[in-house]
Amino acid sequence: MNFPMSGGPPTGLVLHIRLAACCAAIALMTCLVSSPAHALSEIKREELPSPVTPSTDGSAPGSTVPMPDPVGTPSSTTQPAVPDAAEPDSPSDGGINRPRVDPEAPLPEVVYDLGKLPEPVRRMHGLIIEACQSGDIEKLRPLIGKGDSMTQISLADIDGDAIAFLKGLSGDPDGQEILAILEEVLGAGYVHVDAGTPQELYVWPYFFALPLDKLDARQRVELFKIVTAGDFDDMKQFGAYIFYRVGITPAGQWTFFVAGD
């Protein structure tokens, strides 16, 4: 540092002041150089983000998943009801119209003599045949009935009028084909099944209760009056006769006229 030389040498007091000024300047420069580091170290702790405390259950913060109820604790969600065990077939559930084929059981008696039928059964059989031969499908209406005692004409529920439904099954608009099928079915031999039980029935044709592989040549001819050879092959694969059949109770109620399995 250069000082003006004019005015003579500096006095002791002046030298002391200058020396002090130099020391202060040096100290100020040192402070400026070191102040940034010193300032960062003095940041208040509350200005820093709070440390994240690890979760005691190992899950990430904000992602807590509800745990399932302990074993044995009822859940708040209603469980679906367990369906009741199926009840045995009864006349009211339509099960009596299914083929009754037991390959291990003795073959049922095939009957052709209508005189062996109880009178109510014979009468209903005759009334159905008469309606079929009239060619007027409306003649079946009083025999089919309505309500809970109505003859079952489909394995599924039907909507609308029963006679209109039967016409829809026929290949012609007047339902005469279905009348011909019904008459042919009732012209075959019949079987008496479930005798002495609430399910007791007289069923046409008798193929309903016979294994198809046990039909003899004469019986196959009778079957081909009702179905084609192609139908017969299909039914052999299924294992039972599943074309149209008719059931009448001992009391003379026409229970069903259905096809299918």
pLDDT in tens, 157-215: 998 999 999 999 999 999 999 999 999 999 999 999 999 999 999 999 999 999 999 99
In angstroms, the CA 254 to CA 189 distance is 17
* Predicted local distance difference test score (pLDDT) of residue 181: 97
Q: 181, exposed or middle or buried, with CB in 10 Å at 0-12, 13-18, 19+?
A: buried
Query: Residue 192: CB partners within 8 Å, gap ≥ 6?
Result: 108, 109, 111, 200, 201, 202
Buried b (16+ CB within 10 A) or exposed e, 136-156: ebebbeeebeeeeeebbbbee
Q: 182, exposed or middle or buried, with CB in 10 Å at 0-12, 13-18, 19+?
A: buried
DSSP per-residue codes, 86-143: PPPP-TTTTGGGS----TTSPPPPPB--GGGS-HHHHHHHHHHHHHHHHT-GGGGHHH
- This model's pTM is above 0.75: no
In one letter, which amino acid is 134? S
* Predicted local distance difference test score (pLDDT) of residue 42: 38
Look at the chain and count its residues: 261
Contact 17, 24 (CB under 8 A): no
In angstroms, the CA 229 to CA 210 distance is 17
In angstroms, the CA 258 to CA 98 distance is 9
Contact 186, 246 (CB under 8 A): yes
Residues 216, 218, 220, 225: what is their CA dihedral angle, to the nearest 10 degrees?
-170
The ranges of the chain with pLDDT < 70 are: 1-95
Collapsed DSSP state (helix, strand, coil) of residue 169: helix
Q: 13, exposed or middle or buried, with CB in 10 Å at 0-12, 13-18, 19+?
A: exposed
